[in-house]
Structure 1
């Protein structure tokens, strides 16, 4: 199952590797929603999915609550506007904040599927600025939308920072973090994500790990990441890349999956008694 959105760093291709490291638990907590590929590939009893990008969370919330109307209007929008003039007019309307939640969600999906390589990029003023992708035909992901809407019924979507999300943990939670990667494009939102944010995230994850929460985090395979997650077990993998390379180029990048180490039995911290260990990821 592919995702609703085209997304730089989409985890669909490396999901089999991630599933090896995601333990069972009562809820999966994702502070960086992205394309929700990991949510769609797992089967936890519930999910807490967050992102600082309000357009992304609005899209997911609208699909959760208004899937039939969204699909009907989305079909029409995709059929009626597949040229550069229509794209830039839609982008202008989107950046002027016209319309309510459903209309903005439709526009966001349209821009994602018609923009260059599905890139999600904003300028410092918060304006979506991805150019037209010039596709002969675009795909309206109705099948993916319906599957997402079903999974979303056991998901809470919130627009907030990773710090606030990681303050909402409950016994039995499993944490999966997929932040903007070190040394790569990080303009998914006007605030950006630099070295300071990488340090801050890693320090919070180390603290949550020491409190007994299982933590899995994806990032680039860089010296900074290796240093920040030195208390974790690091698994290095190759992942396909499509943004900024020619279609069909088949290029790959080195990535790291950081997995928290189990606490020693004498640590005195044990959240297992509060977990539903009969639930977890699909085989």
Structure 2
């Protein structure tokens, strides 16, 4: 079995390490719709003809869009940041620039700063304070990796699959699901505590609304649905008729330093023709 393709960004909850377990449960469809795109680990490790990747995080989508359409600009500018001495002073200076008003900043500059912060911040986290400011501290890495290969691969994949890259709330993304699409959702996990990847969190009520919306899409249009979540969401999805698969997933980030495998669920609704 070939090693999974890595992604441009480091990302909490990335599906890279469980792709072998996840892939058999993903929807069979021409186009995959992902309302919680994250680092695009699923896109980079599957072979759908088309993709609609969306996320509420505008910084993330700005970077993915730039990598798809102006990768050379991002590579040139971000390389300059990576070639600096890796120290807290430069990190916080660039973080302050990133947190300044975006109206006077080009897409390439904003994307390059986000890539730099992701690869130089603590654990590759993406977290914001209540004012919407990126607030992850310096990561203290000796030689942060510049993901040239991963950028090239993403650009090629986005071009060949005619990927749509959209900054949308999950509700708006689901409104774009067509009859022949498959849907994969990887929301912030229920009970995880890691919900502030955007200024708005993701509550239990949000989880319930998402699960119900996915059930409605399957009932009305027949689209196949797959959802990743924590065991805390098992009852929610089982009660709606999803088939539940339990897996052990490597834990890459833990507030208490515990990196033992964690239980996860994969909830599935088969497509109806």
TM-score, normalization by structure 2: 0.92
CA RMSD of aligned residues (A): 1.5
Aligned counterpart for 1:27 among listed residues 10, 25, 31? 31
For 1:235, the equivalent position in structure 2 comes to 245
TM-aligned CA distance change 1:21 to 1:63, over 3 Å: same
For 2:171, the equivalent position in structure 1 comes to 163
Secondary structure of residue in 1 paired with 2:39 = coil
Aligned counterpart for 2:234 among listed residues 218, 222, 225? 225
1:198 positional shift? 0.4
Distance 2:36 2:132 in 1: 18
Does structure 1 residue 50 correspond to structure 2 residue 54? Answer: yes
8 Å Cα contact 2:242-2:268 kept in structure 1: yes
Distance 1:105 1:60 in 2: 8
For 2:209, the equivalent position in structure 1 comes to 200
Range moving further from structure 2, 186-195 or 76-85: 76-85
Does structure 1 residue 125 correspond to structure 2 residue 131? Answer: yes
Aligned counterpart for 2:14 among listed residues 10, 19, 22? 10
For 1:95, the equivalent position in structure 2 comes to 99
What does the per-residue CA deviation read over 1:253-274, in whole Å, with 9 as the maximum and x for residues that have no partner? Answer: 11000010454xxxxxx2xxxx
For 1:281, the equivalent position in structure 2 comes to none
For 2:267, the equivalent position in structure 1 comes to 258
Distance 1:94 1:22 in 2: 36
Distance 1:246 1:203 in 2: 33
Pick 1 or 2: higher relative contact order, CA cutoff 8 A, min separation 6.
Answer: 1
Distance 1:96 1:152 in 2: 29
Secondary structure of residue in 2 paired with 1:80 = coil
Secondary structure of residue in 2 paired with 1:37 = coil
Distance 1:251 1:198 in 2: 25
1:75 positional shift? 1.5
Unaligned segments of structure 2, at least 5 residues = none
For 1:146, the equivalent position in structure 2 comes to 152
Range moving further from structure 2, 77-86 or 225-234: 225-234
Unaligned segments of structure 1, at least 5 residues = 264-269, 271-283
For 1:275, the equivalent position in structure 2 comes to none
1:23 positional shift? 3.4
TM-score, normalization by structure 1: 0.89
8 Å Cα contact 1:245-1:251 kept in structure 2: no
